[in-house]
Structure 1
Amino acid sequence: MATATVAAFATGVLPGGGAPAPEAASTPGSSGSAVPARSATEIGTAFLADYVQQGGDDAGRVVRRDQGDDTVSEGQAYGMLVAAALGDEKSFASIWTWTKTNLQRSDGLMAWQWKDGAVVDPMPASDADVDMAHALVMAGATFDHPSWTTAGETLAGHIIDDLTAQTPDGRILLPGPWAQGDGPWSYNASYAAPSSFQALAKATGDDRWSQLLAGTRTVTTKILDSSALPSDWSQVAADGSVTPLPGPTGSSGTVQYGYDAGRVAIRFAQSCQPADTAIAARLAGPLADKDPLPMQLDLGGTALNRDQSPLGYVARAAARASGSDRAGAQADLAAADRLAQSTPTYYGAAWDALGALSLQTDAMGSCPLLKGE
């Protein structure tokens, strides 16, 4: 593992994990000022306007304005997904051009972090690369741009070759090259994206993506059979057992449902397969009866602090929608957007947009559980 990556883990800002350190949490202020209700399209458009550099040499760079103005591959992927979903070809082209110019490594994967004109952490993060490959395939079809489709298929090939492992539970997505080996394997349940795996299986014709989907379901089910909520990080052992970890390597941190694991329900709810939405629905119960909803919980659902994030509400919306609680899901999406507007952060705004677009519209190629509401 690269020294830079170890240092990043120690600070709580994980390569590709998308998790802001606790001090970056989207805890609302006390102003109480009213904010307007927005449609999914308006939320997505605002994310691109607020966080994507619009001109100059860095046009297309997604800037984490609340985290030192750096850029991570995850943010570029989120921007590409949102732009493709909105049908914004100009923004998509700009974001992808900046990404491949500044983050693409010699092996075809993407460096994780860029700041002040240079890559500062070259380690790839698999969640970002999967989202990016899916976005490229989406954009290729949406905009009739074959070169983007080809780029997505090529990136998918690098991911399946270099960032997956065959385990007793099936094929799983590794968080990065540092996790390769004969086991045990570090695992982040929120990196797995069933709808993306399905799209990339169809685009590439590579059956390993279908194997990855099956392995993902097996491991995630084991995680939820052992605890009410998934942990940010887990370990898949050589015998197929799965245990929660306090961090990527298990050496420090707190076992928790937090800024990583909050994405699990959303990613599984995006799938068109009942097996996946059933997994998302399992999270509704442990997240119920919390108002306000803390972002960081222990695996039984007890709050670890009072911090909130739009991600937390979008996650509960996804779980509720998967379990047919449409009214509760809509209320949570509205709460997420109010929080995103009252206390804006890059990560909160990104998941506010991705959640609304995937749950309320079919623009992301998913099966929107709340379309038309």
Structure 2
Amino acid sequence: MLRLLVPLTIIGCISIGGLVSCTVPPPRSTLASSVEVSDHRALLAESWTAYRKRFIQADGRVIDWEATGRSTSEGQAYAMLRAVIADDPETFERTLRWAETNLRRQDQSQTPIDSLWAWKWGQDAGGKWRILDPNVASDADIDGITALILASRRWQRSDYLTLARRKLKDLWAKATVTLPADQKRYLLPGAVNLFQRNEKLKANPSYLAPYAFRLFAQVDSERNWLSLVDSSYQMLEQSSKVSPVGLPSDWIALDPKNGQYSALDSGSPLITQYGFDASRVWWRVALDATWFNEPRAKSYLQSNLGHLKQMWQAQRKIPAKLDLQGQAVVDYEATSQYGMLYAAFRVIDPAIAEEILTEKLLPAYRNGFWDNDSAYYSQNLAWFGLLPPNVMAAYLTDPTQAATISLP
């Protein structure tokens, strides 16, 4: 329950998970004392208002200020997912339309290739703003489709569901593959022809989203999305064994013939280490635990967070990047990682989660932003990590519940 303890001048209101919060950014020194943050809804409402103003243009383009002002499919999808959770249909529509207008992949004759999004858009060397890399980042399309399904239910928009189904068809065709080793279907980070080279697949475990695949199965009976739930847990469990301490990797190599995982070659620009990508594994697995009560999710977190738990208890910090042996390769920390770890430890060890919250996440928050007002990645991952487990109404993840709920 939200409780304000000091007077505030109200400048804006937003609904998070059905709770309307009206807030103004307070100084960091008063935040913890002014708001009872057991489920963080007032903080999340404040952060979304600040993010929307700073990072989302009037036309719906999401700007990554730390990366030359570029835009990505990831950024658009994150904004859509946040907007539907925040019950903000206007921002959802703007960010969706910008992406559909500017990120749709086309051939040289300007004919659409599919309904998926090019991952990077920005200013080229000649000063023109356009698609800079037409390749697909499948995690962004997964997050965007998830947002479309949830939005179709929350706001009763059948057009969003139609678009989601069209994208699901293309995602299955372009970014999933059946492996000869076990005849199972697996998700790839993007187009098969890009990530299957030199007889090995390049995989990114942080793209695996079992909770999303369950939602996809609810709306698309033509493809076996539940098979991706099983292969995702297999990939998570087996690929983490490449690390002696059980850490997921940013990138990993998979031999499709025998199903063996290994580190990528040292000459590859994609690195097999625990870093900014890999930390998202904790959040995606935690979502499957909280939304669908999946026992494999809880088991994975319990089995693979042990090294980071020990590091936290010994040092009260976890570096942003670790090698496969669990040793630091940088001396700085990442608020984004702490957001992901908070979501995971809340599932298996709430006491550790509370320590991370009070010692890392809240101290990094000031006037609506984590770290600073240009830290795009921190804003998104800290926000997702702090979402209360019950923030999603039951009918959004389980449509059979709709009959018993009075929809808005």
The alignment's TM-score, normalised by the length of structure 2, stands at 0.75
Q: Quick one: percent identity of the two aligned structures? A: 30
Structure 1 spans left out of the alignment, 5+ residues: 1-32, 368-373
What code does the residue aligned with 1:114 have? W
Distance 1:333 1:104 in 2: 39
Greater relative contact order structure (CA < 8 Å, 6+ sep): 1
Residue 83 of structure 1 deviates from its aligned partner by 0.1
Residue 353 of structure 1 deviates from its aligned partner by 1.2
1:172 is aligned, of 186, 192, 195, to 186
Output one character per residue of 1:32-60: Cα deviation in whole Å (capped at 9) or x when no partner. x747346243233333333111x2xxx11
Distance 2:154 2:201 in 1: 37
Partner of 1:158: 170
Distance 2:264 2:392 in 1: 35
Matched, 1:348 2:378: yes
Partner of 2:31: 36
Matched, 1:286 2:302: no
Contact 2:250 2:271 (C-alpha < 8 Å) held by counterparts: no
Label 1:112 to 1:281 Cα distance change in 2 as closer, same or farther (>3 A).
same
2:278 is aligned, of 256, 261, 268, to 261
Residue 99 of structure 1 deviates from its aligned partner by 0.7
Partner of 1:48: 52
What code does the residue aligned with 1:68 have? T
The residue matched to 1:270 in structure 2 has which SS?
A: helix
Label 1:112 to 1:351 Cα distance change in 2 as closer, same or farther (>3 A).
same
Partner of 2:342: 317
Output one character per residue of 1:201-251: Cα deviation in whole Å (capped at 9) or x when no partner. 11112442111111111111112233220111011102111113268xx62
Residue 360 of structure 1 deviates from its aligned partner by 6.1
1:218 is aligned, of 234, 244, 247, to 234
Residue 156 of structure 1 deviates from its aligned partner by 1.2
Label 1:259 to 1:366 Cα distance change in 2 as closer, same or farther (>3 A).
farther
Partner of 1:230: 248
Distance 1:206 1:342 in 2: 42
2:143 is aligned, of 104, 117, 131, to 131
The residue matched to 2:118 in structure 1 has which SS?
A: coil
Distance 1:152 1:339 in 2: 36
Residue 111 of structure 1 deviates from its aligned partner by 0.6
Output one character per residue of 1:95-145: Cα deviation in whole Å (capped at 9) or x when no partner. 101110110122111011111321111111111011111111111111111
Residue 318 of structure 1 deviates from its aligned partner by 2.8
Residue 190 of structure 1 deviates from its aligned partner by 0.3
Query: Which of the two has greater strand per residue?
Result: 2
The residue matched to 2:364 in structure 1 has which SS?
A: helix
Partner of 2:268: 251
Distance 2:327 2:135 in 1: 34
Contact 1:73 1:113 (C-alpha < 8 Å) held by counterparts: yes
Partner of 2:350: 326
Between structure 1 and structure 2, the one with the greater Rg is 2
What code does the residue aligned with 2:54 have? D
Residue 189 of structure 1 deviates from its aligned partner by 0.2
Partner of 1:30: none
Partner of 1:11: none
Output one character per residue of 1:128-180: Cα deviation in whole Å (capped at 9) or x when no partner. 01111111111111111110111111111110111001122521111111124
Label 1:100 to 1:35 Cα distance change in 2 as closer, same or farther (>3 A).
farther
Output one character per residue of 1:171-199: Cα deviation in whole Å (capped at 9) or x when no partner. 11111111247942110000111111111
Coordinate RMSD, CA, aligned: 2.4
Partner of 1:12: none
Partner of 2:225: 209
Label 1:246 to 1:88 Cα distance change in 2 as closer, same or farther (>3 A).
farther
Contact 1:171 1:216 (C-alpha < 8 Å) held by counterparts: no
Label 1:283 to 1:358 Cα distance change in 2 as closer, same or farther (>3 A).
farther
Output one character per residue of 1:265-289: Cα deviation in whole Å (capped at 9) or x when no partner. 1101100211123213333211123
What code does the residue aligned with 1:265 have? W
